[in-house]
Amino acid sequence: MLHVDLDQFIAAVEVLRRPELAGKPIIVGGRGDPTERAVVSTASYEARAFGVGSGMPLRIAARKVPDAVILPVDHEAYLAASDAVMATLRAQPGATVQVLGWDEAFLGIQTENPESYARQVQAAVLERTHLHCSVGIGDTMVRAKVATGFGKPAGVFRLTAGNWLDLMGSRPTRDLWGVGTKVSGRLAKLGINTVAELAGTDPPDLVPEFGPRMGPWYAELGRGDGASMVDDTPWVARGHSRETTFQRDLTEPAQVDDAIRELAARVLQDVVAEGRPVVGLTLKVRYAPFFTKTYARKIPETFERKEVIARALDLTARIEPARPIRLLGLRAEMSMPDDARKGHTPTRGGW
């Protein structure tokens, strides 16, 4: 299988619209104003060289790269570019396509020369969209996904069971797809610091720390094992979320309630289009200066707007009193249709 990942996707789309920006450090985030509260959505390779990364406060990014071109987020432009890329991938001969996000997808193929096929994919995407992509080749999704990192930018790389530990064994566990900083820290407390150490762990030994499902799964990740078939079943959203960063901290309960009502109204617009009831809510609170907590609860299935808003307001009782708030977010979980795909492929995003 192949993992296709568009290189510096958002920044690349902006360069297509403004060719004069090619080769310059580009930072995309918020409304493009570093004096406002916002975070970096993406940065070009030139900006990343200065230590700018996604999620960094925009003002700090601007401080790191004073000469950077800072642009506002344009979701519609990125979605249109993504649709063109995915259409190109689906048009490849014999390919089964599983979309992971607007800038990456898996392709299941049968070929005796996957490297040649990968280069054909790269050429097709470039011809159709003028965007470059990197392609990872693997005998599992995990290995294909990780292989892409070795191929960036605009390259092709193959990882299989045969060379997995040679290339990944000495790397820290946080380099694995699906293992972030928090999980790698918990693994380190168990004396597991490298991919090779995780691969050699007896799965039951991870159950006390991570549970009967996730423990064995992390051991599987360490070996690079896992799903080896691409599933083109259309993805079904589990929920919708919205969030707002406030230019001035919220300090009064009435301000918080008003903000929650507005967020709930925006989320419900997305939920109504799905036609599935809400079954859970998660409130995201970022306290000043930059400390984030989430509060979640299950709720009885409901389509009722007033009920969802009331349940969302109930969550505000868990907000820490007397702490200024710089961001609020609300996520509504929906019931899943019986035929929705419930795979356990690790994914990113969401909160």
pTM metric for this prediction: 0.81
Whether the predicted pLDDT of 125 surpasses 70: yes
DSSP letter for each residue of 84-148: HHHHHHHTSTT-EEEEEETTEEEEE---S-HHHHHHHHHHHHHHHHS--EEEEEESSHHHHHHHH
Which pair of structure tokens corresponds to residue 266? 């925006």
Instruction: Please report the pLDDT score of residue 231 as a whole number.
Output: 87
Instruction: Please report the pLDDT score of residue 145 as a whole number.
Output: 97
* Averaged pLDDT of the chain: 93
Q: How many other CB atoms are found less than 10 A from the CB of residue 44?
A: 26
Instruction: Please report the pLDDT score of residue 338 as a whole number.
Output: 63
Q: How confident is the model at residue 62 (pLDDT cuts 50, 70, 90)?
A: very high
Instruction: Please report the pLDDT score of residue 322 as a whole number.
Output: 87
Exposed e or buried b per residue across 84-117, where buried means at least 16 C-beta atoms within 10 angstroms of its C-beta: ebbebbeebeebbbbbbebbbbbbbbeeeebeeb
- Reported in sequence order, the residue ranges of the chain that DSSP labels E, i.e. its strands, are 2-6, 26-28, 42-43, 69-71, 96-101, 104-108, 133-138, 156-159, 239-250, 278-287, 291-302, 325-334
- Going along the chain from its start, the domains and CATH numbers come out as 9-75 (3.40.1170.60), 164-223 (1.10.150.20), 239-334 (3.30.1490.100)
Place of tokens 């009502």: 261
Q: Tell me which residues are annotated as active site.
A: 104
Rounded Cα–Cα distance for residues 219 and 225 (Å) = 9
